[in-house]
Structure 1
């Protein structure tokens, strides 16, 4: 079959680029769906059709011809593969950065035009309510002058974050990315905005701007929940803490139960730091939350990739190597209309701490065993990993394991998600 190699003129990638992304990404997601055991052949086919029609054409040129690489993963892939391991049926997910044909070029350095096109396409195609997404986009999108300013400021801003690094400085930050939960033959869609570009341009924390935008949303969030998060962050010594604001992008009829998610980072990864954030400094003390923390304490050393254990709950593990961003731990505060307190989820940038994917596979199998999940059976998680990504022993410069998140709730029980950087043809 001859593939058309003509460049795109309609906001989508050229056919040869779409074929590249399909060849590199579709088999991984197919393998994960098969391993999950919860997708029928018809559902798998439908999910791949959604991927091929709505996502792959918006990932931009293949790697060798791309204007930029994506900071979403450690492999430069603009799509990150994920799986949620909850009690019951696991869900395969992925997150992607819409780069379009010109994302990262001089005409669209932060892929903002590409993000607008993708958001317009998805909202129209899937009937998504834009009551939250439109005002947040306009609140957080940087102006042309701010974009020009950031291009000059970014290297110095990155250098100011922490210890000197030998890692080459990144030359851009992603403005937006989109999450897709593969639910049977349907998709649950989420949208995320990176506030850092605007923050770097102005030199001011975006905290006030972010909370002001959230207070104006309709349907409204609970003011008490916004106040609680804002007060908590104001008392924590983390400069420029807010990273992202995300939202459940749903049908208008589902807006009353949709979430806004505020993502923040911490410069300390101790278990006591986790307790502080998850309880909002002791404000949240319900039995479910405390049970979740107790469960998390049993596996925290393994999430930090320390199978032999850690000295104590104040242990703050250093990075395994240099990093352009000095961010050791993430949390999301999930706000819903009518909910007076947020749900707090813990995220660990595993790639900062991974020594080898082989060791990490063993650590995760032990985590699953301690959590009473079937993926802890001898070799079960390793089989899932190798079916999707190839041998755990490899010579790639970066690990495939990217991030991990943990939540314990009365509705879902233990709710863990693993995130992977798909290896790409070079």
Structure 2
């Protein structure tokens, strides 16, 4: 699986991952200016513009995804405070190794044979912003690798592309520290062994993104990138006739005994069984880092149809099994404030709102205690994305480090206004499809997850064009 674009070296910048021109075997032509720009001219240009002028894509759909989503990633990186060298590194990786995996674009009628349930409008990519406590954000990309025959009789489940992409990263040595031990184990124990035995249902199709059961993320962490795999256990659960939770429990318990013991995860697994009865909590996603088992984190994503603070505190303490004494009273108050600002304390969810149930993901790592984290779908509780921004500002403005968080809030808001425009932020509620928070010692770690809305905006443009015809 060769990349479909080839870069020139980023001018006067050094990147952390070496990307060789030999990585690409299929290239139309490399765009070069006949007159070399001066150092001053290069410094004045944005990394996205320079990369756009030096990278050639071999397929129109790759150019489409770069233009539409690469530009958004570029804005977020810039406003999050990434240095230019970091921006070049991440944008080059995105252009060469992610854009070609995003699949075809809609035809003239808007038909697309494979839409990802990963995002509200089917765009196979999302971007997230982790709110750093020192005023700078950390940006991550999450995407569904889409095979060339996904959605056809030859590959109805888009079964193979994630594996091909992971193996490509490994064979080319593109990510330092990539380790496939757990990848091989969990792919064999959480995904179905025979897809022919799985009968697709509307519930499965909605919950699984992609239908094959996997998607991947690349953390653009300031200490270096980390690849994560996300697996949806629903397909194997149907194959075996058990719950999603049971699939996950069996997979974890079948790890080598030393690895399993080091996770100390039995209290969490006991709580998940208890919460399934008490709150109707359901496991939706199973995730882990593709690094050594000693360093990798396992994350189990759950949600339930409840919005009370009692539900919040029960999950954070694993039903009383986990002490919150390591956190300050202020941090506990912060998480309650965050919960109330976004969803209040209502007992019932708005009727007919999909993805509405607020949830938690529980993280385990060798030698570390389980840590629960909150995630909320604001579309169920906010009338539009402009209101999400107002609620975020309300939260950050009342924290002790408001002096650092409000300038970051300003940058975040400017980035979204530049990407989407104020009118779109006021008219849609699907850009922020999750807001998340986790307890830190004295405050919360907040993450916002953004849908590029690429397919939704293209559909709206087609509608406007038809009105003009």
TM category, shorter: 0.7 to 0.9
C-alpha displacement at 1:108, in angstroms? 2.3
* Aligned pairs, number: 388
CA distance in 1 between counterparts of 2:324 and 2:222 reads: 33
Matched, 1:139 2:189: yes
Say whether the 8 Å CA contact 1:177–1:192 is kept in structure 2.
yes
- Counterparts of 1:19-418 in structure 2, within 5 Å, are 19-37=63-81, 39-64=82-107, 66-88=112-134, 89-124=136-171, 125=173, 126-127=175-176, 128-144=178-194, 146-147=195-196, 149-151=198-200, 154-155=201-202, 157=203, 170=206, 173-174=209-210, 175-184=213-222, 186-218=224-256, 220-222=259-261, 225-236=264-275, 237=277, 241-250=282-291, 252=292, 255-289=293-327, 291=329, 292-304=331-343, 310=344, 313=345, 315-319=346-350, 322-324=352-354, 328-339=357-368, 341-371=369-399, 372-373=401-402, 374-376=404-406, 379-391=410-422, 393-394=424-425, 398-410=429-441, 413-418=443-448
Alpha carbons of 1:418 and 1:147: their partners in 2 closer, same or farther (altered >3 Å)? farther
CA distance in 2 between counterparts of 1:289 and 1:105 reads: 51
Deviations 1:160-187 (CA, angstroms, capped at 9, x unpaired): xxxxxxxxx8596421111111134842
CA distance in 2 between counterparts of 1:26 and 1:201 reads: 38
C-alpha displacement at 1:302, in angstroms? 1.8
Say whether the 8 Å CA contact 2:145–2:162 is kept in structure 1.
yes
Matched, 1:18 2:58: no
Deviations 1:3-62 (CA, angstroms, capped at 9, x unpaired): 99xxxx99xx9611111110111111111111111x111210110111011111111112
CA distance in 1 between counterparts of 2:222 and 2:274 reads: 43
Alpha carbons of 1:140 and 1:381: their partners in 2 closer, same or farther (altered >3 Å)? same
CA distance in 2 between counterparts of 1:200 and 1:267 reads: 22
- Partner of 1:307 in structure 2? none
Larger radius of gyration: 2
C-alpha displacement at 1:217, in angstroms? 2.5
CA distance in 1 between counterparts of 2:334 and 2:273 reads: 28
Greater relative CO (CA pairs within 8 A, separation 6+):
1
- Does the residue aligned with 1:242 lie in a helix, a strand or coil? strand
Normalising to structure 2: TM-score of the pair?
A: 0.75
Alpha carbons of 1:200 and 1:354: their partners in 2 closer, same or farther (altered >3 Å)? farther
C-alpha displacement at 1:116, in angstroms? 1.4
Deviations 1:303-360 (CA, angstroms, capped at 9, x unpaired): 22xxxxx4xx5x33523x62455x5012111111123x31111111222223111111
Say whether the 8 Å CA contact 1:288–1:409 is kept in structure 2.
no
Any stretches of 5+ residues in structure 1 without a counterpart?
159-168, 305-309
Alpha-carbon RMSD = 2.9
C-alpha displacement at 1:240, in angstroms? 7.2
Any stretches of 5+ residues in structure 2 without a counterpart?
6-24, 27-56, 460-469
